[in-house]
Chain A
Amino acid sequence: MSAETPETPTGSPRLSVLVPVAAGSAEGGLAIVESLLKQDFDDWELIVVGPDEVAVPEALANRTMLVRLDRGCTLAEALGAGMAKASGEFLTILGADSILDPTALGAVCAEMDAQTDVVYSDEVIAGAEFKKPDFSAERLRSQFYLGSLAAYRTSALRAIGGVRPGFDGAEEYDLALRATRAARKVAHLDSTLVESGTRPIAHGWGTPESAAMEATRRVIDDHLRATGGGVVEQVRRSGVHRTRRNVEGNPLVSIVIPTRGDRATIGGVDRCMVVEAVRGIVERSSYTNVEFVVVIDDVAPADVREALRRVAGERLTLVEWSRPFNFSEKVNLGVLRSRGDYVVLLNDDVDVISESWIEPMLALAQRPRAGLVGAMLYFEDDTIQHAGHAYYRLDVTHIGLNSERGAAGPWGAFLLEREVAGVTCACALVRRDVFIEAGGLSTLLPGNFNDVDLCMKLATLGYQSYWTPFAELYHFESKSRDSRVARSEIDVAWGRWESHFWRSPFWPTDPHERFAREASE
């Protein structure tokens, strides 16, 4: 490998743009050059790592460094050679066929304050716009979503050892995981600044797909081991991988269910909702160290109590409720009556689908500074009721509402564990002391928005909510309660959090929008 510098830049630029070019892939020239020429920001250098035939136009010659490749050079070696030459304070790796917005490089540098080590932007991929979440460490272990315009502090990259060899086809993913792990701050530029090519950078470097997928598995596995453990269950061609965290220990989980003991017809069968909810958990849950705390209205029929005792046995604590309806008060009382270090807040109108529904929620609740963890909930007709909360232009709604069961969602979002702004308390798991620290569910919100409010309160205290698709339940929404919303509830919830209801940090688009692109298997 040899380097030639047409003209050595004087002083260190703010940004180094590193473009690796595989042999035989640049015969038509570098598409990125045109958009680089249009940048409204000047303090950058270009490092092209490529074969002899690669050339850059005269207009860029004074800021370009060409690093020649040996035949058979790997992408990791090419990136390493480029990084060694980089003199910018920050560095971004771009595909040769990327198209940048004229403001892109300037915007990236403007966001790089003294604490920021990584910044990434929204982008257009193969014609579809990807409005990305704010930095989501848990999502990143299942999807390399930072994408085409991610810039790193060069010193931080060198501190982690730069690009590692031995992960052919997953070099950028590996770099992103390691860099964000070590980063003091990761910033998301909520603006579409790049249109990436149809092919990943690694394409053209001769790595067979199977080897690239195996490298991806090792990259994620390595990351999980470095961040508390977990399992890579499936690496997918779509780039949306199935990974999960491990449960630490076997803690007692208290399942708190407020109920009036109502009956409803589900699938043509009359049933007592709470009894069948508990029966489903007892008969089908793989996690067995649980207790049930059922807060039951005193007007509930006596046979409901008897049925609950038969189904749950010694694991049942019945708490009598004789005050006027207040869902929040009932849940708070149930949590205080519970003995577990973790509590599941559960409506009585649910039915467990996945046997291992507690484990994925518990594992996420055991993450540092975890708040509420929500589940995938389906209506009776097998459409999605809940895949996390989203707030958009003062609308508070469920992600995925009315989508078909099995849909991947925008950019595979229904298939992976991720950070969310909030979750429904129809089924949510949380550490008991965290719940109490936030004052529990607000009794000022007796029937609605108490879950939204709790997640917001937890966020202000520094706790992060998560959602997992691996805990699946039916939620026969409002089969057992009055679904009307009181004016006072809107006043309280919006009075507190209205300014947060304009945009969700982890779901920045309209949740009702039809999906521009769904990940395919």
Chain B
Amino acid sequence: MRCATWCNPHPDRWSRSLRDSLDGARAGDRAGLRALGTLRGVARERGTDGSLTEREIQLELRQMALVDRVLGLEAEVARLRANVPPGLSARDEIERLQAELRSIYGPRTRAIGATVVRVLRARRAARAK
């Protein structure tokens, strides 16, 4: 029997983590992440006639491709993780995808992720006691 809810038909952890990650990426320092960070900024900077300049369009196309890549990688990781427990090859693939995601997210998001992992480990240890 399967139950679903209307609040969030896909209550996956990754949609929230994606938003958090993108927010983190937007706040990152790397030049490559600045492009992601200006995604909404460009949309706000439309001219008085509402149109974008050629340069802005090219920048935004690159940003959209980056967002698509992030969403796609997150989805792939979630799909692989759905097979519990994942096989060895799936684990390797998850690791590879996560490495790719990390390279997109940047150091700040990794730091946030590390903090979360630390908290989870501490909780798990407390429960074990």
Contact = CB atoms under 8 A, between A and B. Distances in A.
Interface of A: 107, 111, 115-116, 119, 134-137, 184-191, 329, 332-333, 336-337, 339-340, 432-433, 436-440, 442-444, 453, 456-457, 459-462, 492, 495-500, 503, 505
A439 B14 CA distance: 16
Contacts of B74: 460
A432 B60 CA distance: 13
A107 B67 CA distance: 41
Contacts of B89: none
A438 B4 CA distance: 24
Nearest to A435: B64
B64 A134 contact: no
Contact of B5 (A187, A333, A337, A499): A187
Interface residues of B, number: 41
B3 A439 contact: no
Interface string B39-79: 11001001001111000010011001111111110111011
A440 B65 CA distance: 8
Contacts of A437: 39-40, 67
B79 A498 contact: yes
Contacts of A187: 3-5
Given A439-B66, A495-B76, A460 B51 contact: no
Nearest to A506: B9
B4 A188 contact: yes
A337 B54 CA distance: 9
A337 B76 contact: no
A107 B3 CA distance: 10
Please classify the interface of chain B as helix (H, G, I), strand (E, B), loop, or mixed, using the class held by over half of its residues. helix
B50 A339 contact: yes
A499 B75 CA distance: 10
B49 A439 contact: no
A24 B8 CA distance: 45
A296 B15 CA distance: 35
Given A137-B6, A333-B57, A439-B71, A496 B1 contact: no
A352 B44 CA distance: 33
Contact of B61 (A111, A115, A332, A505): A332
Contacts of B7: 115, 184-186
Contacts of A137: 6
Interface of B: 1-10, 12, 14-15, 18-19, 39-40, 43, 46, 49-52, 57, 60-61, 64-72, 74-76, 78-79, 82
A273 to B, nearest CB: 26
A116 B5 CA distance: 9
A433 B39 CA distance: 10
B61 A107 contact: no
Nearest to B44: A433
Given A339-B51, A433-B40, 7 more contacts: A188-B5, A439-B66, A444-B68, A457-B68, A459-B9, A460-B14, A495-B72
29 contacts: A115-B7, A134-B5, A134-B9, A186-B5, A186-B7, A188-B4, A189-B3, A190-B1, A190-B3, A333-B57, A333-B61, A336-B57, A336-B60, A337-B51, A339-B46, A432-B43, A438-B71, A439-B66, A439-B69, A439-B70, A460-B15, A461-B15, A492-B72, A496-B72, A498-B79, A499-B79, A500-B10, A505-B4, A505-B9
Contacts of A439: 64-71
A190 B4 CA distance: 8
B6 A185 contact: yes
A329 B39 CA distance: 17
Contacts of A136: 6
A98 to B, nearest CB: 19
A459 B7 CA distance: 12
A436 B60 contact: yes
A186 B15 CA distance: 21
A239 B109 CA distance: 51
A23 B8 CA distance: 43
Contacts of B72: 442, 444, 453, 492, 495-496
Nearest to B73: A496
Given A442-B72, A444-B72, A505-B9, A460 B65 contact: no
B43 A436 contact: yes
Q: Closest 4 CB pairs between A and B? A: A135-B6, A439-B68, A439-B67, A339-B50
Which among B6, B9, B60, B65 has the highest number of chain A CB atoms within 10 Å? B6
Contacts of B70: 439
A332 B64 contact: yes
Contacts of B64: 332, 436, 439-440
Contacts of A495: 72, 76, 79
A339 B76 CA distance: 34
A314 to B, nearest CB: 12
Contact of B57 (A337, A340, A461, A497): A337
B82 A499 contact: yes
Nearest to A457: B71
Contacts of B6: 134-137, 185-186, 188
